[in-house]
Amino acid sequence: MKKEKAKVLLIYTGGTVGMVQDEKTGVLKPFSLESIIDYIPELSRFGFRIDGYTFEPPIDSSNMKPEIWIQLADIIGKNYTKYDGFVVLHGSDTMAYTASALSFLLENLGKPVILTGSQLPVNVLRSDARENLVTSIEIAAAKENGKPKVPEVCIYFEYRLYRGNRTYKHNAENFEAFNSSNYPELATAGVHIKYNEQFIAKPSSKKIISHRSLDTNIAVVKLFPGINPLVMESIFNTKGLKAVVLETYGTGNAPTAKAFLQPIATAIKKGIIVLNVTQCRAGAVQQGRYETSTELRKIGVIGGNDMTTETALTKLMFLFGENYPLAAIKKLLQQSLRGELTAQG
């Protein structure tokens, strides 16, 4: 019996991976998905069926927004039964936000959705685009005993595959642009692709749900020594505000001065959720470990455990977009919905 070809949908949103450098001016300009494939003829050797979907015009990742996340989820949802996996070509600057958002929007995901890109354009001699794209497509098509190897939203960059909602961009210069400090790599690519099976989510047997609603009435406040309480007050008094991601120090610590805590306490009493995540890229919030975080817990700030800021923000957008009651949102923020935080035993 002839083995059926694997089918992968390649979705090009924009980013450096789809740019070419003008030889005279050095300016980067976008070009077509077909041209990307022309520059990487190795793709034809897989024997896969690779179809393409291109955003017109291409989107610089700095211009990424929730409406496009919903559009991406919708494209994947509508094409879900036609393909074995999906590869999303995306600019690296906001890739971690998009990966986190898609992990929530695509409920009951049972197939790979791999986001990748590059630090150099595909037509540059030393470009990392070729390897990133080739390996992403191979992972998107990979199966074992008829089941996808990695049925998650992931980021693949520089020989490493990460869970998307655990990832952040940590380097603007090196090819190794991403990291995942609080969760192990799902796979590493060398001579062979080695999958870390114990850390990969199991494929869902339920029907996929592609959600179409995100609420952007969320703010992020990063603490710094000397932050003006009036600034805090103005943010918490923003019209329509529903939640604030509070980036604190260390394991969730913050000033204990009444002038700092009062605007937060007042906002919480009005029904605004305040979610505490650490500014550190590794480790977790442990409210109550030190006196400087005990006060936050007392006034009703929710501990975000080891969620990244990118994930905390998109999770709040998702939960409010789904119109969950306030009490349910507070509870769900402390639970792992898509593997985005470490369950507390």
pLDDT digits (tens, 9 = 90+) for 16-47: 777 766 667 766 666 666 666 777 777 778 88
Q: pLDDT at residue 117 above 50? A: yes
DSSP designation for 197: G
pLDDT of the residue at 30: 63
Q: What CATH number does the domain containing 82 carry? A: 3.40.50.1170
Q: Which is it for the CA torsion 48, 53, 57, 59, positive or negative? A: negative
- At which of 210, 242, 273 does a domain end? 210
Calpha distance 16→61 (Å, rounded): 9
In single-letter form, the type of residue at position 10 comes to L
Percent with pLDDT over 70 in the chain: 92
Lowest pLDDT segment from 264-268, 290-294, 328-332? 290-294
pLDDT at residue 54 is higher than 90? no
Stretch 307-319: mean pLDDT = 98
Looking at residues 264-282, what average pLDDT do you find? 97
Q: What is the CATH number of the domain that holds 317?
A: 3.40.50.40
| CB contact set of 204 (below 8 Å; sequence gap of 6+) | 108, 109, 110, 151
Please state the rounded mean pLDDT for residues 182-211.
95
Q: What pLDDT, on a 0 to 100 scale, did the predictor assign at position 44?
A: 78
The structure's pTM equals: 0.93
**What is the share, in percent, of the chain residues with pLDDT greater than 90?**
71
- pLDDT value for 61: 87
Query: Residue 156, SS3?
Result: strand
**Based on the structure, what is the number of domains in the chain?**
2
Judge whether 164 lies within some domain: yes
Whether 128 and 233 share a structural domain: no
Token reading at 326? 């306030």
Q: Which residues are catalytic?
A: 16
pLDDT tens-place string over residues 209-245:
999 999 999 999 999 999 998 999 999 999 999 999 9
308 and 191 both lie in a single domain: no
- In-domain check, residue 338: no
Report how far residue 156's alpha carbon sits from residue 140's, in angstroms, rounded to the nearest whole number. 11
Q: Are residues 206 and 223 in the same domain?
A: no
Dihedral, CA of residue 154, residue 160, residue 166 and residue 170, to nearest 10: -120
Residues 205 and 225 in one domain: no
Q: Quickly list H helices, the chain.
A: 33-39, 66-78, 95-105, 129-141, 229-236, 258-269, 291-299, 309-321, 326-332
248 shares its domain with 152: no
Average pLDDT taken over every residue of the chain: 91
DSSP state of 3: P
- Count CA within 13 A, CB hemisphere, residue 186: 24
- Out of 210, 234, 260, a domain closes at 210
Mean per-residue pLDDT, 167-172? 87
What six digits make up the tokens of 149? 């190897």
Q: How many residues does the chain have?
A: 345
Range of the domain at 318: 218-332
Nearest to 286 by CA among 249, 234, 320: 249
Does 271 lie in the same domain as 148? no
Same domain, 233 and 312: yes
Q: Does residue 343 lie in a domain region?
A: no
Same-domain status, 40 and 170: yes
- Angle at the Cα of 323 (from 318 to 328), degrees rounded to 5? 85
CA atoms within 13 A on the CB side of 66: 18
How far is it, in rounded angstroms, from Cα 187 to Cα 176? 15
- When mean pLDDT is compared across 16-20, 79-83, 156-160, 302-306, the lowest value belongs to 16-20
Residues 281 and 322 in one domain: yes
Residue 268 is assigned to a structural domain of this protein: yes
Does one domain contain both 106 and 182?
Answer: yes
pLDDT band for position 2 (cuts 50, 70, 90): low
**Is the residue at 166 inside a domain?**
yes
pLDDT at 33: 64
Give the pLDDT band of residue 1 (cuts 50, 70, 90). Answer: very low
| 289 domain residue, yes or no | yes
Who's near 56: CB < 8 A, 6+ residues apart? none
Which amino acid is residue 291, in one-letter code?
E
**135 & 115 share domain:** yes
Mean pLDDT of the region 95-116? 97
188 and 296 in a common domain = no
